[in-house]
Amino acid sequence: MPLTAEIITIGSELLTGLTVNTNAAFIGERLTAVGAVVRAVVTVDDAEADIRNAVETALSRADRVVCTGGLGPTNDDVTKKAVAACFGRELVLLPEAMDRIEAAFRAMGRDMAPANRLQALIPEGAEPVPNRVGQAPGFILSRDGRELIVLPGVPSEMRAMMDETVIPRLRAAAGTASAALALRTAGLPESDVGRKLEDFPSLFPDVRVGFYPDSTGVTVRLMTFGSSAEACESRIRQAGESAADRLGRAVYGTGGDSLESVIGRLLAESGRTLAVAESCTGGLISHRITNVAGSSAYFIRGVVAYHNSVKTGLLGVPESVLQTAGAVSAECAAAMAEGVRTAAGTDFGLSATGIAGPGGGTEEKPVGLVFIGCADASGTVTEKHRFLRERLWNKERSATAALDLLRRRLRGFA
Amino acid sequence: MPLTAEIITIGSELLTGLTVNTNAAFIGERLTAVGAVVRAVVTVDDAEADIRNAVETALSRADRVVCTGGLGPTNDDVTKKAVAACFGRELVLLPEAMDRIEAAFRAMGRDMAPANRLQALIPEGAEPVPNRVGQAPGFILSRDGRELIVLPGVPSEMRAMMDETVIPRLRAAAGTASAALALRTAGLPESDVGRKLEDFPSLFPDVRVGFYPDSTGVTVRLMTFGSSAEACESRIRQAGESAADRLGRAVYGTGGDSLESVIGRLLAESGRTLAVAESCTGGLISHRITNVAGSSAYFIRGVVAYHNSVKTGLLGVPESVLQTAGAVSAECAAAMAEGVRTAAGTDFGLSATGIAGPGGGTEEKPVGLVFIGCADASGTVTEKHRFLRERLWNKERSATAALDLLRRRLRGFA
């Protein structure tokens, strides 16, 4: 059985949306990485009763509870009082913490406010967690084999204390190992990805599967737990291969890969170059390509042809194409891709033209209709897509479709 | 008594740290803005028992519970089942939602997977919350005067449904009136914005002030509560004028304004046109400009000049500028802005050239050094900036600086 864990984050700034809860994400990621199963994240105000209630509930369900926030020197920081009360303990002075606080004030040449003394208090009998970055120490309280780990809410302090003390300790206690793999896909809606992996839970009952759609595609996340790291790694490799097999050419990478980083690698490795002609995407394709460090080696030129005069001028789209097929057409997408490739003298030309909306749609050419094109020495391919939402959504999906067409072209799939 | 509220966010990606919980921050901010007191945020897995337990607990403590996530078409989405069980209801088909889903698949020319039908189910007797952005409808269940509001986890859908249905409804129920105002600023770091409003709490003790920095500038949010809407509106107007006065020309708009929407309004109103030449920003300036609906009326051409041959060719930057001052220089930024303006025949030319990093920096021209330029009939202005972080951060800040230069130029400030 893997260890179960819960996270409690304390502070009104988290409840009122003033601060996004990045601490919970960090702690969740670290706990998951050592094989603990995070069951819940609970955020409450700096109120003694709420904190006590959250701590008691979490300790009734989880082996480990990590609690952050409310250890500062101000009046509204009541975490320690609440936690000490849960365990029926008094707060006592931790001499080494007091020394650190006094030394810090000496170094700043400032007098210590009496309130700062409070930061050196921890519940009697608690095991201190040293704070190398700041002043407030953390601490660990145990009960019936369960542990409550209390850390400051300052992200830099909390992160250091997690990585230096809490995680090594958990790794030793967990006894379980884990392994995870993310497959990145493009070109399939979430429902199709789900359908292709429908039988996965019966084939790999010990592997958890999650689907995470966003504007760049759907990420499939696999995770498994076991007694040895080697067994987990081998099992996740097996599951990953099976999933990749089912998903086929939609899989463009793993882990932190993006379509633009994969394209960049393929272009850089083969010494080939790229130019982009955009209409409805308005610069987003070029923006994504240039988010990759080193893209200047293969990305030569981008043209945002918002006006038809730019399409005929800079891109050499024939007037006749605009007059017969129109600017939103496969013919125009092809001419744009070929035109920018020729003008820039690159190996590849990539294009997108469509109606991002909300205005400009007609019955024949509705909002969300997009044509993309990819030209190289062997010819030109185009694709028609129909996206259905608001302007930014349509731009984002169009850019993803164009990048994915280039990816498949580079792989020999399109 | 103000209404109490709790937020439940569902999804393993939130527990394992794959996704930072921005939904909870958004909902917390909106609930707080209408005077509700958010008591807790609870995140649990897509597990029926965990969801039921979280919903029952929240409903035992709070007047309103907003629950997001797990309404997708895949197997791991069980929110509706769990919630229906809490209320002892069956799931029934919502015909208007089914119509929307079928229409969407027809428009895409694709077959609907059977799983997509699940998205049109809501608990019997629940009040539907329309989803204008996506397919899955939300719904509201009531019990003993308390309400459970269930929304999809896709941020764009959830946000629209909060603002269009949930918040107006809560405002009507809340009893207390409130008013809020957001001032959007660019060009000042958060610490300077804070300093300029240092005496604000003593002048307006009844107005809450929050600072929200992001890549597009710093938003100052003012909020006040009271018994009448008129009194709140008048008070917030007073506070807003005082804050705008202190912040001066850094304030570019209010509410949902963006630099690009303000620029768009100024250009469209005066019938003037724009062309953009980008190097280090890689298309991001054009992307932001074209995020504004109707931008095709004034945005004519964008050129992403990643290779120096594009700077000399398409933009007419003299070879001598590249050889003496270099591609990252005020001279090059000026020549790019003038070159793209002349070539496109527009009223304004806007440019950015710099070193986005992580590679390419030198002692003299370090990573993050950026020059921006703006040319019009009366001449050309350039600015030098130094950004200090990673590639995307530098691109984003550079694009904001360029758009803000154009905004100030249009206003007669630069």
Mean pLDDT rounded to a whole number for chain A: 92
Cβ proximity of A40 and B47 under 8 Å: no
pLDDT over 70 for what percent of chain B?
Answer: 99
CB B356 within 8 A of CB B339: no
Q: Do residue B28 and residue A15 have CB atoms under 8 angstroms apart?
A: yes
| pLDDT digit string, tens, across residues A36-62 | 899 999 999 989 999 999 999 999 999
pLDDT band with cut points at 50, 70 and 90 for residue A76: low
Q: Does A294 touch chain B (CB under 8 A)?
A: yes
Side chain identity at residue B302, one-letter code: G
Between A375 and A112, the higher pLDDT residue: A375
Cα separation of A23 and B209, whole Å? 24
- What is the tens place of the pLDDT at every residue in A232-252? 999 999 999 999 999 999 999
CB contact under 8 A, A40 and B38: no
**Cα–Cα distance measured from residue A132 to residue B352, given in angstroms and rounded to the nearest whole number:** 42
pLDDT for A75 equals: 58
Exposure b/e, A287-296, CB count within 10 A at least 16 = b: bbbbbbbebb
pLDDT exceeds cutoff 70 at B75: no
pLDDT at residue A74, as a whole number: 65
**What gap in Å lies between CA A208 and CA A344, rounded to an integer?**
47
Question: Would the pLDDT of A109 be above 80?
Answer: no
Residue of higher predicted confidence among B176 and B118:
B118
Residues A113-145 have pLDDT tens digits of 777 788 899 999 999 999 988 888 999 999 999
Taking CB atoms and an 8 Å cutoff, what residues of chain A touch B306?
A: 290, 295-296, 299-302
Q: For chain B, what is the largest distance between any 2 Cα atoms, rounded to a whole number of angstroms? A: 78
| Distance of alpha carbon A71 from alpha carbon A67, whole angstroms | 10
Q: In this structure, what token pair is assigned to residue A372?
A: 């993309």
A323 touches chain B (CB under 8 A): no
Mean pLDDT of the B81-100 span:
93
B392 contacts: CB under 8 Å, gap ≥ 6: A291
Look at residue A300 in the predicted model and tell me its pLDDT.
96
> At B8, is the secondary structure helix, strand, or coil?
strand
Rounded to the nearest angstrom, the minimum Cα separation between A94 and chain B is: 32
Check: CB of residue A273 under 8 Å from CB of residue A267: yes
Q: Determine the pLDDT at residue A174.
A: 67
Q: In angstroms, rounded to a whole number, what is the distance separating the alpha carbons of residues B349 and B267?
A: 13
Residue A52, chain B, CB below 8 Å: the answer is no
Residue B294, pLDDT above cutoff 80: yes
Length of chain A (residues): 414
Write the residue in A18, A195, A306 that is nearest to B301 by C-beta: A306
Residues 80-139 of A with CB under 8 A from B: none
- Name the residue in chain B with its Cα closest to that of A395: B291
Residue A372 has pLDDT above 80, yes or no: yes
What pLDDT was estimated at residue B263? 98
**DSSP for B257-323?**
--HHHHHHHHHHHHT--EEEEESTTTTHHHHHHTTSTTGGGTEEEEEEE-SHHHHHHTS---HHHHH
What's the mean pLDDT when you consider all of chain B? 92
Given a cut of 80, whether residue A229 has pLDDT beyond it is: yes
Taking phi first (over 0 means left), then psi (-120 to 50 degrees means alpha), and beta for anything else, what does residue A190 get?
alpha
Measured distance CA(B133)–CA(A388) in Å, rounded:
9
Is residue B26 within 8 angstroms of chain A, CB to CB? yes
**pLDDT band for position A302 (50/70/90)?**
very high
Nearest to A58 by CA among A34, A27, A33, A35: A27
Position B255 confidence tier, pLDDT thresholds 50, 70, 90? confident
Give the pLDDT of residue B210: 79
Using the predicted structure, report yes or no on whether residue A150 has a pLDDT greater than 90: yes
Is 90 exceeded by the pLDDT of residue A108? no
pLDDT tens per residue across span A213-223: 888 999 998 98
pLDDT grade for B76, boundaries at 50, 70 and 90: low
| Mutation for testing the B interface, residue in A27, A191, A260, A369 having most B CBs under 10 Å | A191
Per-residue pLDDT tens for B341-394?
999 999 999 999 999 999 989 999 999 999 999 999 999 999 999 987 789 989
pLDDT of residue B326: 95
- Number of A/B CB contacts below 8 angstroms equals 266
Across residues A80-106, what is the average pLDDT?
Answer: 91
Task: Say whether B39 and A50 touch across the interface (CB within 8 A).
Answer: yes
**Distance set, CA A374 to CA A187, A371, A409, B326 (Å):** 16, 10, 8, 33
Q: What is the pLDDT of residues A308-325, one digit of tens each?
A: 888 999 999 999 999 999
Domains, chain A, in order of start with CATH, read: 4-174 (3.40.980.10), 177-254 (3.30.70.2860), 259-411 (3.90.950.20)
Q: Is A27 on the interface with B (CB under 8 A)?
A: yes
**Cβ atoms of residues B122 and B87 within 8 Å:** no
**Host H or E run for residue B114:** helix B114-117
| Sequential DSSP letters for A329-355 | SHHHHHHHHHHHHHHHT-SEEEEEEE-
Q: What is the pLDDT of residue B70?
A: 87
Q: Are strands A138-143 and A207-214 parallel, antiparallel or unpaired?
A: unpaired
Q: Report the range of poorest mean pLDDT among A165-174, A230-239, A403-412, B246-255.
A: A165-174
Q: Check CB contact of B27 with chain A, cutoff 8 Å.
A: yes
Please indicate whether, in this complex, the C-beta atoms of A27 and B17 are within 8 angstroms of each other: yes
Q: What does the pLDDT look like over B40-55, one tens digit per residue?
A: 999 999 999 999 999 9
**Could you tell me the pLDDT band of residue A154, with boundaries at 50, 70 and 90?**
confident
User: CA A319, CA A309: separation in Å to the nearest integer?
Assistant: 9
Comparing alpha-carbon positions, the chain B residue that sits nearest to A389 is B133
Q: B42 touching A, CB under 8 A?
A: yes
Contact A36, A170 (CB under 8 A): yes
pLDDT value at position B291? 96
Question: Can you tell me the mean pLDDT for B2-18?
Answer: 92
Interchain CB contact of A256 with B (< 8 Å): no
Q: How far apart are the first and last CA of chain A?
A: 46
| 3-state SS assignment for residue A278 | strand
How far CA A70 is from CA of A8, A12, B173, B208, B380, in Å, comes to 11, 10, 32, 21, 52
